[in-house]
Structure 1
């Protein structure tokens, strides 16, 4: 049992993406595109499907998923962007530069973390999430994780930030 939990924690922290996952729901489809995702977003809630929250030790190999709640994501149409963790007593405030894109073919949102001096084309590691919903003021990204034998997801629920 400890071994299973240990493996699940490692997989959750690295956010291994399952190949071949298809988005679900009425909002998934050809209407999802880059323009639906561009803008400023606030991560309001993180939920879990098929994996207990206590088994998710970190998000995007950075911090507890709790540290991301309330984070603001700036996604410019050029693909440049950033997210800012709000900072709490348990989580330091932090801003991370990213380069992002949307694949309409497989309905995914992907991003790479960029550090000082990095060029996006030279960064080979990143994150791929299922673009589950992208409507006027709502964005839902699902991060597939390996947990047991069934599909499991960390679900990020965003709302459009006020200007």
Structure 2
């Protein structure tokens, strides 16, 4: 009789341990890794979530968000990178230092100017990575609008080699 209770106790304990290790609910998405973002990208489209387009005058310190449509972004694995603007705003290349945090799915970058070292630059931009895969990437820029947070949504496509 004691053996039956002992076997039942071990069996119940094993079931509890296995159940506590199994995933709960629906499958979760994998966090974005640096390798998902590394490469050359083209910013094809900018949309607005929770903020009227007419309210957005500039983006990342540039005179107009429209300057970024069609821009190319080079993001190396070392964290060095650049973006190149063109079109109606005139050609301009900006050196950046970037990183991605899989913990909170954010993309950060800071502008670097002649003679700057990334470790000495304290101002930058922190964006939310909505999705990133081999062919496309969506990054959302949070902006304060009204009494809440709205987003400028940047839609990237992987540049052809």
TM-score per shorter chain, which class? 0.7 to 0.9
| Paired residues, number | 135
**Structure 1 partner of 2:97:** 99
Q: Give the superposition deviation at 1:63.
A: 2.5
**Separation of aligned partners in 2, 1:121 and 1:150:** 32
Q: Which moved more, 1:144-153 or 1:123-132?
A: 144-153
Q: CA RMSD in A?
A: 1.4
Q: Does structure 1 conserve the Cα–Cα contact (< 8 Å) formed by 2:31 and 2:105?
A: no
Separation (CA, whole Å) in 2 of partners of 1:47 and 1:29: 23
Residues 135 and 158, structure 2, Cα contact 8 Å, conserved in 1? yes
Q: Work out the CA distance in 1 between the residues paired with 2:121 and 2:56.
A: 25
Q: Which residue of 1 aligns with 2:71?
A: 71
Contact 2:34–2:100, Cα closer than 8 Å, also in 1? yes
Q: Does 1:35 align with 2:35?
A: yes
1:74-98 Cα shifts (integer Å, max 9, x gaps): 000000000000232xx11100000
- Larger CA Rg, structure 1 vs 2: 2
Work out the CA distance in 2 between the residues paired with 1:83 and 1:105: 25
The alignment partner of 1:35 has SS state of helix
**Larger RCO (alpha carbons 8 Å, 6+ apart):** 1
Spell out the pairing of 1:13-162 with structure 2 (5 A cutoff): 29-88=29-88, 91-162=89-160
Secondary structure of 2:66's match?
A: helix
Q: Structure 2: which 5+ residue stretches go unaligned? A: 1-27
Q: Residues of 2 paired with 1:51 and 1:41: CA distance?
A: 25
Cα distance in 2 for residues equivalent to 1:71 and 1:107: 23
Q: Contact conserved, 1:87 with 1:94, CA < 8 A, in 2?
A: no
The answer on whether the counterparts of 2:43 and 2:69 sit within 8 Å (CA) in structure 1 is: yes
Q: Which of the two has greater helix per residue?
A: 2
